[in-house]
Structure 1
């Protein structure tokens, strides 16, 4: 009932705007109609209402009539967004998973407070500040609230460790924990380097530069830059990365708006990677800053774009902080690739219109034809394999069964101190058979016997990769995943 009441009030605001109520506005003539109406409702409405909630709902409704990317973020949510984009947070420094209604440490973060105190992969957190957190149906966001906090503050956790009869108590001093933008920076073979970027945050360019320097030292002649499922972030970070990819004085991007002058941004130097062959991987989750890089590389004929058409976000938002620390992000400009393409996906009344695309022909530096078409179209397209069915695999992931199996296996391998070389020689089929036995006991007998061969191969590779990730980190995970990744296999074979 309360929800319906708020909905009625929201829409009433806009209906009233068209009605003559001059008597009410005699003392508020210089104020906006919306502010005046809200004030009238607050003073006169028959029932008590949450005025702040109504006010914020009105703001969101106004922005919905502009474009898909203008937005309002309240103060609490903005703190979380800011933390994500700053590239760090304050906490105890563990990767965790909730398995069988228990918080399980997947791995302590290297150099973090938990690792320094000796907390291990597989440890189970039972109490936080004397409050029971096991078998209480705790959620991920609740765990984060309990474990994160102000830098320098202390939190007590009590842990159950395999082989110990008593709980182990730790007083952990929270510290800054980095949020990585570079998921992986590895050599796939003697010549080909691979970097996976997950966002464009404050620390991204520094991480990227360190990764590039390391790979060049190891003999990299070709770079595969993976921007799949990268939603974007800071425009300036994308510009800095383009500076490393392009020769000097090449147009990277330009922006222009109804109330903003045209601003062209050029590369400032011969970048550290100008003599390195380049492949960019994109998909439907690559947006904004990811599309700026892909567009600059494509239009300057600098490298090959492989994958699927990108998301299509070609609008630039400026962030305006309000008095209560909430934030208005409002679209002020469009951005254009060097050939003049605005790759914003068309929208109408905030509903994205997939079937309508700009068919105008644009030309790259060498004269190749490219199109805006609501995103960056790859030079080489990887089609979606409609024959693959991941429903059962997704169910196993969502139930935490794959995480549980891989964590158990990684603990066993740690106990025998297995080397990377020995791990890489493990028989995948035997490992897969062990997982089937685990499922028979933990879930449903013969549950995945009927899945196709491609799904089986994906699962075999995923189980090995996740187990390796628990032991050696993300680089090992991506190295093993590359063997079964059609995008990467195509990039490796592209000359």
Structure 2
């Protein structure tokens, strides 16, 4: 067909196609009812989205539908397990930073007393140290924002000080009576999950793991090598109050203690096929006495590590029954910038035990479980532990172990209720100990220079009667009740806590735990157990 004939024919062809389309469209279902045709059907919104859309477009008053959506999501999740959670956009960065093992900021620890931001410590090698900040400095302004005496909150300070690496923040600092403007170039600040690592006794190492983050395994191995070089033959790992974190960190650490090819944990769910996690390589500490400390705050990855060690009879679990979180979450990013952590499977340790405690009575009952344990007497008496799973689980050597909620220790250490009298609880809740230690340290820094390291401090520093009396006077101004009726046991606890927090000012968490562990019953028992073990 020639181009001329085609030019004449095309308009006629298009008109025919258009007419046919209009005819077919008229005959399609829904053409006279306002509905959509089958060719161009839009996916139907669920009733939840329909209601939100109607509220947004028709409701008499202006409503923040973002808040409605969050409440609706949280309402739905109440019908699931307690660990399926919605993370709003405003919290996601902080949640991820906690597990990433670093954040971007200026590298200080601070506290807030009397509406004043005090620099408690400066992270070695960080941006603030490079800029010249010191413990005892007070931050009055960040940029143009006045923060002193302005009902300042920790979250507000954190948002002002943190920011992209290499960006600059201007701070106004008060040191003594002199104000100065200090510009700080932000950087990536590592957050170690190893709170302490030191030689507990000749040949016995101690490692305190606070969580299982992306950097935990590397931090742990660094500590192991240092302890090995210091002569470590036996080891105590402290998992008390460790809420868990990444599964990978726990399994890699377990691999250092177990022979190759051993099952560490497996996961399984309705739409989640069984996946086994086994040891893959020769470990650094497959031989040698091992003890693991746990309590009711040890959860998730902590329970996986402790459970694998117990099920393979590799070490001794000492303390109290763990939390009982054996559910696997996957995180899904949402379009609004938030995320959903949805439970997709359960954890099972080598004996076949699920470590998840029951949650069928609702979230409130689940949240009250630890209080119920205390009221029932479980935290002070091993015989009061309630075993909800009667299946006879066995370790590799045939020892009986228990499921139905957490890891039951091999050796029970009761909760010390004397440490939580009304007077002591008031001191904890008012931050009286921390505030006093900070004030005393900043006014006596020259005196503390005589201690060369944490070990020297533990051995030679004493909370003298003078320091104790100064603390009691400070506590009186802090409205702490019962100061005229302090018992001998409470006085011991007060002096011990003051010393530990002084050590924290000098040597951070390493100093705190090395000091507080000197009189810790669980640590003493662990030391006794590993030193008595002649076979490993």
**TM-score calculated relative to the size of structure 1:** 0.89
Partner of 1:286: 298
Of residues 295-304 and 180-189 in structure 1, the stretch that sits farther from structure 2 once superposed is 180-189
Partner of 2:282: 270
Which of 478, 489, 494 is 1:454 aligned to? 489
Of residues 247-256 and 136-145 in structure 1, the stretch that sits farther from structure 2 once superposed is 136-145
Contact 1:88 1:178 in 2 (8 A): yes
Which of 83, 89, 102 is 1:75 aligned to? 89
Partner of 1:418: 450
Of residues 150-159 and 37-46 in structure 1, the stretch that sits farther from structure 2 once superposed is 37-46
Q: What is the deviation of 1:321? A: 1.5
Helix, strand or coil: the match of 1:488? Answer: helix
How far apart, in 2, do the equivalents of 1:81 and 1:436 lie?
36
Query: What per-residue deviation string (whole Å, max 9, x for no partner) do you get for residues 284-309 of structure 1?
Result: 11111000001100000000001111
Partner of 1:52: 66
How far apart, in 2, do the equivalents of 1:364 and 1:422 lie?
42
Partner of 1:397: 428
The 5 A counterparts of 1:8-47 are 30-47=44-61
Helix, strand or coil: the match of 2:352? Answer: coil
Of residues 319-328 and 142-151 in structure 1, the stretch that sits farther from structure 2 once superposed is 319-328
1:406 equivalent to 2:437? Answer yes
1:103 equivalent to 2:117? Answer yes
How far apart, in 2, do the equivalents of 1:400 and 1:30 lie?
55
Contact 2:122 2:133 in 1 (8 A): yes
Q: What is the deviation of 1:332? A: 0.9
Which of 188, 194, 199 is 1:182 aligned to? 194
1:468 equivalent to 2:503? Answer yes
How far apart, in 2, do the equivalents of 1:151 and 1:338 lie?
43
Distance 1:24 1:251, change over 3 A: farther
Output the aligned Cα RMSD.
Answer: 2.3
1:299 equivalent to 2:311? Answer yes
The 5 A counterparts of 1:12-411 are 30-162=44-176, 165-348=177-360, 350-351=362-363, 352=365, 357-411=388-442
**Structure 1, unaligned stretches of length 5 or more?**
1-22
Of residues 119-128 and 302-311 in structure 1, the stretch that sits farther from structure 2 once superposed is 119-128
Helix, strand or coil: the match of 2:343? Answer: strand
Of residues 320-329 and 106-115 in structure 1, the stretch that sits farther from structure 2 once superposed is 320-329
Contact 1:257 1:334 in 2 (8 A): yes
Partner of 1:19: none
Helix, strand or coil: the match of 1:105? Answer: strand
Of residues 426-435 and 116-125 in structure 1, the stretch that sits farther from structure 2 once superposed is 426-435
Helix, strand or coil: the match of 2:390? Answer: coil
Q: What is the deviation of 1:29? A: 7.2
Distance 1:356 1:54, change over 3 A: farther
Contact 1:65 1:349 in 2 (8 A): no
How far apart, in 2, do the equivalents of 1:148 and 1:96 lie?
13
Q: What is the deviation of 1:449? A: 3.6
How far apart, in 2, do the equivalents of 1:282 and 1:76 lie?
33
1:489 equivalent to 2:524? Answer yes
Of residues 130-139 and 301-310 in structure 1, the stretch that sits farther from structure 2 once superposed is 130-139
**TM-score calculated relative to the size of structure 2:** 0.83
How far apart, in 2, do the equivalents of 1:185 and 1:402 lie?
24
1:430 equivalent to 2:465? Answer yes
How far apart, in 1, do the equivalents of 2:230 and 2:178 lie?
47
Distance 1:70 1:264, change over 3 A: same
Contact 1:28 1:36 in 2 (8 A): no
Helix, strand or coil: the match of 1:149? Answer: coil
How far apart, in 1, do the equivalents of 2:418 and 2:392 lie?
34
Contact 2:128 2:184 in 1 (8 A): yes
Q: What is the deviation of 1:440? A: 6.6
Q: What is the deviation of 1:384? A: 2.0
How far apart, in 1, do the equivalents of 2:167 and 2:239 lie?
36
Contact 2:419 2:493 in 1 (8 A): no
Aligned length: 471
How far apart, in 2, do the equivalents of 1:422 and 1:37 lie?
64
How far apart, in 2, do the equivalents of 1:42 and 1:433 lie?
62
How far apart, in 2, do the equivalents of 1:41 and 1:440 lie?
53
Query: What per-residue deviation string (whole Å, max 9, x for no partner) do you get for residues 178-198 of structure 1?
Result: 112111111111111111111
How far apart, in 2, do the equivalents of 1:491 and 1:239 lie?
23
Q: What is the deviation of 1:422? A: 6.5
Contact 2:433 2:497 in 1 (8 A): no
Distance 1:298 1:431, change over 3 A: farther
Contact 2:115 2:151 in 1 (8 A): yes
Distance 1:414 1:388, change over 3 A: closer
